[in-house]
Amino acid sequence: MKVLCIETKLSDEQRLESGCHPSTTFAVTKERTYLVLGIWYAYQSPQIGSGVFLFVVGDHGYPIPVPLVFFDVVDPRPSCKWTLTKYNDHEASLLPLELQDKFFIDRLTDGERSDVEAFKKLLVDLENEFEPI
């Protein structure tokens, strides 16, 4: 799945509905196309609030959840690497196994070699799924 960023800030109404903290920012760039790494649905999550979030590689180079409202879908095909995980009655994700490890992103940002290599391979694999239709 690929998406086009159409917004980089939540409106006041969207922020209230989502429960996102007012100082929350998202490292994405308007009019840039992003490869979707996965999807996360949350309702009143203490970590992220409520809503549908797309995991993309943020402008800093690491996976981040970004509200769906920031994007238009340009290629709707889901990845065959996504698996459904139900965390509780109000939270679920469709993510590759690597991103389901709750410490993977921490190790990735810490530069853990095996996780950096696994992430690079994951990006190549996902990108290769989305040759032009």
Nearest to 117 by CA among 130, 107, 127: 107
Predicted model pTM: 0.89
32: which 2 tokens?
């840039």
Question: Where is average pLDDT lowest: 9-13, 19-23, 33-37, 98-102?
Answer: 19-23
Average pLDDT over the chain, rounded to an integer: 90
Instruction: Decide which of 68 and 21 is more confident.
Output: 68
Taking only the tens place, the pLDDT of each residue in 79-90 is: 999 999 998 888
CA atoms 59, 63, 65, 67: torsion sign = positive
Provide the residue ranges of all domains of the chain, joining segments of one domain with +. 2-129
Confidence at residue 92, expressed as pLDDT on a 0 to 100 scale = 94
- pLDDT tens readout for residues 32-77: 999 999 999 988 877 777 889 999 999 999 999 999 999 999 999 9
Query: 33 pairs with which residues across the strands?
Result: 4
The percentage of residues in the chain with a pLDDT greater than 90, rounded to a whole number, is 69
